């Protein structure tokens, strides 16, 4: 592991750029050159799962289908993230720019932004900016159109294949994989689906070059990332930080002096307790995050925190697969029983085994990651769950 | 071909094969639950998880296509623990009152529980946390949500095979359920009562509404005369519920068993199937004559068969503008019911109010059909109770009958004679073939020009079948059909019925006569048939049906001596006033919501 980088604020995502200039530059590049730049940058998906963006584009580009899609995942539903809203609000033209560049890279002529239903209030402004954008890329020579599709409030629709189903007007339930989106995505066509922030980052990489980008971050976690900071902090909000800092660096900057735990990556992420602040790197070599950073001070009951997450998952599981649908209910009711003293504390061990089963047997990422919060909270705050 | 290892045994299978099917080839059994060979892959129960070397998670064998160099293990500790958890999780949401359950010992969840979840369960019982409800509104089946394990087989059946989607998934997470439209009672949504969902439900969440006790009560009532009729498709499937392999004909044993159960008269729906051919064939020829000779443009053509009550309800809901195209003939079951309380009562000198008419059907929609208000033309409820093939098997077991060692015996008379043409009503294309055998002969005086009377173009499992028969050498009465090409089509499974109806609506269907059966394969694949039913089993039953036909001495409906006699003694002639009173019906326009 590289030594931690300390905390450095970066201004890349919200940096004002001349979109016309950036896109004109991209338009003159070949598909392969674009993909090569993104591959070299080491950019990984900013939604949380961290799949290398360049590879995703490369696979989709390799598909022979005449019709392909770029989908922008703006269904920002992870508890504690609100960065995509901010990005769309402030620099939507860069999201569109990233989509157009991705479209050129994979040879797609159509982009779809799947916008979280709760962000509907942004739509009039976004549409206006889209109109301007369409006009501009038309002048440059891009053959690319973007349209919007609104979600209706289901967390699961942020999962890529459930999102496709939702766009297609079906019930938002994850599909079996393979086939992966790069071969069969929305409407069964090869699709590159990227997070809002990923697309903006990709545009900035094309603008500044991969080399400059790789100077930021660590070997496994290149670049910077927008964090949504919330919880017990005097300075909640959106911050773009270089990757590679430790949780301790983060807490020093954002904590209130009494931070006992940080939930990194939202409900589906990991809980880092105070004793592990120093050794835990925020990034793919430590705890990955889609941006959600929630700080808890000593006034908080970690039982309540866990209960809240489990309640959320029991509600937001799509319900199709057994481990997730029933497992979430069992974890929730199980910790309630333990808390009330109606089940022995050792029952937590059985629930931990269940969390392990959910991790390996659930159909999609939702069920597979319920165990992250459960295990990291139960492991580190066991006494708070029991007493 | 793709090479992989399963439990260290190499195997080579075509690309696209699932891990589950590849394992089957090696005789390695991977348990499944949501998987059904008739339906698309769901991959949602997760019971079939197996370990793939190098993969981050377990994989669902039913949903994972093989890939080169895969190294699969189906029985590791990790797999066993996960399966045990999954089965226990399913059980924690399931009201496991097995001893009270109709599906006891014929339940896929119960079998899995036997294998994976005996002894103490780890997880909490969630049944009381769910506000489960039981829907008994349909006369055909009961939907008990407390038994539902959300495998969605029913949902896929209803949309993929039947194009109805009477039930669908609603809500999410802990509240997810299989629901009707706006959670209305099943009797008040677009549901055809076909029972295909019942046939595919792995648990007791969807079961037929059973009338076994009512039938026993009637049998034991000394005041009542209980007649029973058996549909053609029952005799080639009943054996499956009594220990036989699929495709065994058990007609003679079934008749003996019914006699031993105490029914007063064992009669055959095949008799009224033959009668249907006379009535429906005449109706078709009359419509053709009116259209071709009299130039009556108002004749509704193509004419559709009307034997399948699931299909009837489908067209009433979805294509009501074509109700005039339906043959006005009642189904053989209902013709039989009406005659049992009129003609039969007269012949046997019985008081019709003392007759209880029972039918054994491969079908759950028949229960609904018997309840229709139109079906009381005898002055009584024409058919009192409808039992499925499965319910009959239950009665035979309840009576302690050693079915396998029964002597074979014959149906009683009257209304027990039949022909091969009637037997094949049980398979898709059968009504068409029977109708052609008779109609062609009426018109030309000669047998249909197919070897051994087997009209092969209308047979088989294709979803939509078409055939054209050129009519030549007509008898003087039918000269107007000389040289005409009779175009027919056959569809089975309502998804295929929908295809034909779209063509009809678009005006692109060139047919004169169309046979439609609601269930895949026709009645042999009916919702009331033994579980499991799948393509392989349907094919076996179909073979048995055609072999039954070939073994009959008489194979044309108009040659049935009892049919000839009933016209002489009672009905006068096909489509007579009396026929119309008893054997024909009308239809109802129903809403689509």
pLDDT confidence of A6, banded at 50, 70, 90?
A: confident
DSSP state of B131: -
**How many residue contacts between A and B have a Cβ separation below 8 Å?**
119
Q: Does A362 touch chain B (CB under 8 A)?
A: yes
pTM for the model: 0.95
DSSP state of A302: H
What tens digit of pLDDT does each residue of B473-525 get?
999 999 999 999 999 999 999 999 999 999 999 999 999 999 999 999 999 99
Q: B446 and B548 share a domain?
A: yes
pLDDT score, position A103: 97
Radius of gyration (Cα) for chain B, nearest Å?
Answer: 25
Q: B456 and B566 share a domain?
A: yes
Measured between alpha carbons, how far apart are the two ends of chain B, in Å? 48
Q: Which residues in A353-365 are b (16+ Cβ under 10 Å) and which e? A: ebbbbbbbbbbbb
Looking at beta carbons, which residues of chain B come within 8 Å of A156?
A: 172
Q: B62 and B155 share a domain?
A: no
Q: Does A107 touch chain B (CB under 8 A)?
A: no
Q: A185 and A314 share a domain?
A: no
Chain mean position to CA A143 = 28
For residue B172, give the nearest of A317, A323, A329 by CB distance. Answer: A317
pLDDT score, position A4: 60
Q: B478 and B564 share a domain?
A: yes
Catalytic-role residue among B51, B108, B279, B280: B280
In the structure encoding, which two tokens stand for residue B105, read together? 């010992």
Q: Which residues in B263-274 are b (16+ Cβ under 10 Å) and which e? A: bbbbbbbbbbbb
Looking at beta carbons, which residues of chain B come within 8 Å of A313?
A: 173
What tens digit of pLDDT does each residue of B538-548 get?
999 999 999 99
ipTM of the complex: 0.95
Q: Which domain holds residue A333?
A: 302-386
DSSP string, A19-30: HHHHHHHHHHS-
What CATH number is given to the structural domain containing A355?
1.20.1440.230
In a domain, A221, yes or no: no
Give yes or no: B523 in active site: yes
In a domain, A373, yes or no: yes
Q: How far is B277 from chain A (nearest CA, A)?
A: 44
For residue B82, give the nearest of A156, A176, A357 by CB distance. Answer: A357
Give yes or no: B115 in active site: no
For residue A361, give the nearest of B41, B86, B124 by CB distance. Answer: B86
Q: B457 and B513 share a domain?
A: yes
Decide if pLDDT at A25 tops 90: yes
Q: For chain B, which residues lie within 8 Å of any Cβ of chain A, measuring from their own Cβ?
A: 41-47, 49, 56-58, 60, 63-65, 78, 81-82, 85-86, 89-90, 92-93, 122-124, 126, 129, 149-150, 152, 168-169, 171-176
Mean per-residue pLDDT of chain B: 97
Q: Which residues pair with residue B286 across a beta bridge?
A: none
Helix (H) or strand (E) holding B5: strand B2-6
pLDDT confidence of B294, banded at 50, 70, 90?
A: confident
Q: B159 and B303 share a domain?
A: no
Count of domains forming chain B = 4
How far apart, in whole angstroms, are the C-alpha atoms of residue B42 and residue B44?
Answer: 5
In a domain, A237, yes or no: no
Q: Which of A77, A311, A325 to mutate to test the interface with B (most CBs of B within 10 A)?
A: A325
Q: Domain end: B405, B436, B466, which one?
A: B405
Looking at beta carbons, which residues of chain A come within 8 Å of B41?
A: 176
pLDDT score, position B543: 98
Average of per-residue pLDDT across B90-101: 96
In the structure encoding, which two tokens stand for residue A349, read together? 């061990």
What tens digit of pLDDT does each residue of A253-292 get?
999 999 999 999 999 999 999 999 999 999 999 999 999 9
pLDDT confidence of B295, banded at 50, 70, 90?
A: confident
In the structure encoding, which two tokens stand for residue B222, read together? 């000394």
Catalytic-role residue among B283, B391, B441, B548: B283
In a domain, A190, yes or no: yes
Q: B200 and B226 share a domain?
A: no
Give yes or no: B341 in active site: no
Decide if pLDDT at A1 tops 50: no
Asked if B226 and B162 touch (Cβ cutoff 8 Å), the reply is no
- Tally of CA atoms within 13 A in the half-sphere of A362 that contains its CB: 26
Decide if pLDDT at B444 tops 60: yes
Q: What is the largest CA-CA distance in chain B?
A: 81
pLDDT score, position A49: 86
* Dihedral (Cα; B547, B550, B553, B559), 10-degree rounding: 110
Q: How far is A329 from chain B (nearest CA, A)?
A: 7
Q: How far is A199 from chain B (nearest CA, A)?
A: 27
DSSP string, B70-119: -EEESS-HHHHHHHHHHHHHHHHTS---GGG-TTTTS-HHHHHHHHH--S
Strand pairing category for B485-492 and B513-517:
parallel
Asked if A47 and A71 touch (Cβ cutoff 8 Å), the reply is no
Q: How far is B503 from chain A (nearest CA, A)?
A: 26
Q: B265 and B355 share a domain?
A: yes
Q: Domain end: B157, B179, B208, which one?
A: B208
Looking at beta carbons, which residues of chain A come within 8 Å of B172?
A: 154, 156, 315-319
What CATH number is given to the structural domain containing A194?
3.40.50.11540
For residue B92, give the nearest of A176, A326, A357 by CB distance. Answer: A326
Q: B256 and B355 share a domain?
A: yes
pLDDT score, position B66: 98
Q: Does A352 touch chain B (CB under 8 A)?
A: no
Per cent of chain B over pLDDT 90 is: 97
What tens digit of pLDDT does each residue of B208-259 get?
999 999 999 999 999 999 999 999 999 999 999 999 999 999 999 999 999 9
Q: B321 and B355 share a domain?
A: no
How far apart, in whole angstroms, are the C-alpha atoms of residue B5 and residue A383?
Answer: 46
Q: How far is A103 from chain B (nearest CA, A)?
A: 29
In a domain, A230, yes or no: no
Give yes or no: B327 in active site: yes
For residue B172, give the nearest of A154, A326, A361 by CB distance. Answer: A154
Q: Does A354 touch chain B (CB under 8 A)?
A: yes
Decide if pLDDT at A2 tops 50: no
Q: Which residues pair with residue A44 across a beta bridge?
A: A52
Count of domains forming chain A = 2
Give yes or no: B572 in active site: no
In a domain, B41, yes or no: yes
Contact B173 A317 (CB under 8 A): yes
In the structure encoding, which two tokens stand for residue A180, read together? 């992966």
Q: Does A350 touch chain B (CB under 8 A)?
A: yes
Q: What beta strand segments (E) does B452-554 contain?
A: 464-470, 485-492, 513-517
Q: Which domain holds residue B71?
A: 2-75
In a domain, B105, yes or no: no
Q: Does A154 touch chain B (CB under 8 A)?
A: yes
How far apart, in whole angstroms, are the C-alpha atoms of residue B9 and residue B24?
Answer: 13
Q: B314 and B345 share a domain?
A: no
Q: A175 and A308 share a domain?
A: no
In a domain, A144, yes or no: yes
What CATH number is given to the structural domain containing B387?
3.40.50.1780
């Amino acid at each position: 592991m590289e030594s931690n980088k300390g905390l450095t604020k970066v201004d890349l995502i919200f940096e004002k750029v001349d979109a016309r200039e950036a896109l004109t530059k991209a338009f003159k590049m070949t598909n392969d050159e674009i993909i090569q730049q993104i591959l070299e940058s080491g950019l990984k998906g900013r939604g949380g799962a961290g799949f290398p963006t360049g590879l995703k584009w490369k696979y989709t580009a390799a598909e022979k289908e005449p019709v392909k899609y770029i989908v922008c995942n703006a269904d920002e539903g992870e508890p504690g993230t609100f960065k995509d809203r901010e990005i769309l609000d402030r620099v939507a033209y860069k999201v569109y720019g990233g989509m157009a560049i991705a479209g050129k890279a994979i040879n797609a002529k159509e982009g779809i932004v799947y916008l979280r239903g709760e962000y509907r209030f942004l739509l009039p402004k976004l549409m206006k900016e889209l109109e301007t954008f369409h006009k501009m890329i038309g002048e440059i020579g891009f053959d690319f159109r973007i349209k919007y599709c609104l979600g209706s409030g289901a967390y699961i629709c942020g999962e890529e294949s459930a999102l496709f189903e939702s766009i297609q007007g079906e019930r938002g339930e994850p599909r079996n994989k393979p086939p992966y989106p790069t071969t069969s995505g929305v409407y069964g066509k090869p699709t590159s689906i990227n997070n809002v922030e990923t697309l903006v980052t990709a545009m900035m990489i094309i603008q500044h070059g991969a080399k400059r980008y790789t100077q930021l971050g660590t070997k496994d976690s290149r670049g910077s990332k927008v964090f949504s900071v919330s919880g017990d902090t005097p300075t909640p909000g959106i911050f773009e930080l270089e990757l590679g800092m430790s949780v301790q660096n983060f807490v020093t900057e954002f904590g209130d002096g009494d931070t006992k735990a940080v939930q990194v990556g939202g409900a589906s992420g990991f809980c880092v307790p105070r004793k592990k602040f120093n050794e835990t790197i925020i990034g793919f070599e430590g705890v990955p995050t889609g941006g959600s950073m929630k700080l808890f001070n000593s006034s908080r009951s970690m039982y309540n925190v866990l209960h809240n997450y489990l309640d959320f998952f029991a509600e937001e599981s799509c319900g199709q697969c057994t481990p997730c649908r029933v497992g979430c209910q069992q974890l929730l009711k199980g910790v309630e029983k333990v808390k009330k003293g109606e089940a022995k504390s050792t029952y937590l061990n059985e629930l931990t085994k269940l969390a392990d089963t959910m991790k390996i047997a659930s159909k999609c990422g939702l069920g597979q990651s319920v165990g992250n919060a459960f295990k990291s909270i139960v492991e580190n705050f066991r006494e708070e769950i029991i007493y | 071909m793709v090479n992989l290892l399963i439990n260290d045994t190499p195997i080579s299978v075509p690309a696209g094969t699932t891990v589950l099917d590849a394992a089957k080839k090696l005789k390695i059994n991977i348990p499944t639950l949501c998987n059904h060979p008739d339906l698309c892959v769901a991959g949602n129960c997760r019971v079939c998880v197996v370990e793939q070397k190098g993969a981050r998670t377990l994989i669902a064998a039913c949903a994972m296509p093989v890939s080169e160099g895969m190294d699969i293990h189906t029985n590791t500790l990790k797999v066993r623990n996960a399966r045990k958890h999954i089965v226990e999780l399913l059980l924690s949401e399931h009201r496991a009152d097995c001893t009270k359950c109709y599906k006891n010992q014929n339940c896929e969840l119960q079998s899995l529980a036997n294998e994976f979840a005996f002894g103490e369960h780890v997880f909490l019982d969630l049944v009381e946390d769910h506000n489960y409800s039981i829907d008994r509104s349909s006369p055909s089946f009961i939907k008990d949500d407390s038994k539902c394990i959300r495998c969605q087989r029913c949902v896929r059946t209803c949309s993929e095979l039947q194009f109805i989607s009477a039930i669908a998934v609603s809500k999410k997470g802990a509240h997810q359920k299989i629901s009707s439209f706006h959670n209305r009672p099943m009797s008040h949504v677009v549901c055809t009562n076909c029972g295909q969902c019942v046939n595919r439900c792995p648990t007791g969440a969807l079961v037929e509404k059973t009338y076994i006790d009512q039938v026993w009560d009637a049998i034991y009532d000394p005041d009542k005369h209980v007649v029973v009729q058996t549909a053609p498709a029952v005799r080639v499937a009943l054996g499956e519920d009594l220990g036989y392999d699929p495709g065994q004909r058990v007609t003679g044993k079934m008749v003996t068993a019914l006699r031993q159960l105490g029914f007063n008269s064992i009669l055959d729906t095949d008799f009224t199937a033959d009668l249907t051919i006379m009535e429906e064939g005449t109706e078709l020829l009359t419509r053709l004559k009116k259209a071709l000779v009299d130039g009556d443009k108002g004749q509704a053509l193509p004419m559709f068969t009307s034997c399948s009550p699931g299909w009837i309800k489908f067209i009433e809901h979805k294509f009501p503008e074509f109700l005039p195209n339906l043959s006005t003939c009642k189904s053989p079951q209902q013709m039989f019911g009406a005659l049992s309380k009129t003609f039969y009562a007269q012949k046997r000198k019985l008081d019709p109010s003392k007759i209880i008419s029972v039918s054994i059907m491969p079908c759950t929609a028949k229960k609904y059909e018997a309840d229709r208000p139109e079906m009381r033309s005898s002055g009584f409820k024409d058919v009192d109770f409808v039992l499925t093939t499965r319910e009959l098997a239950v009665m035979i077991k309840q009576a302690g009958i050693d079915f396998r060692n029964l002597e074979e015996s014959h149906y009683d008379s009257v209304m027990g004679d039949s022909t091969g043409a009637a037997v094949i009503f049980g398979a898709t294309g059968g009504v068409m073939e029977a109708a052609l055998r008779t109609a062609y002969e009426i018109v030309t005086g000669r047998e249909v020009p197919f070897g051994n009377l087997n009209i092969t173009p209308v047979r088989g499992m294709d979803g939509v079948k078409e055939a054209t028969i050129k009519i030549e050498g007509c008898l003087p009465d039918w000269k107007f059909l000389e040289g005409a090409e009779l175009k027919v089509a056959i569809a089975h499974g309502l998804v295929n019925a929908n295809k034909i109806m779209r063509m009809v609506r678009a005006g692109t269907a060139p047919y004169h006569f169309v046979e439609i059966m609601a269930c895949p394969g026709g009645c042999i694949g009916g919702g009331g048939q033994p579980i499991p039913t799948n393509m392989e089993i349907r094919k076996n039953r179909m073979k048995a049906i055609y072999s039954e036909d070939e073994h009959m001495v008489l194979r044309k409906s108009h040659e049935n001596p009892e049919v000839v006699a009933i016209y002489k003694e009672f009905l006068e002639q096909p489509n007579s006033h009396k026929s119309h009173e008893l054997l024909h019906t009308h239809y109802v326009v129903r809403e689509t919501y």
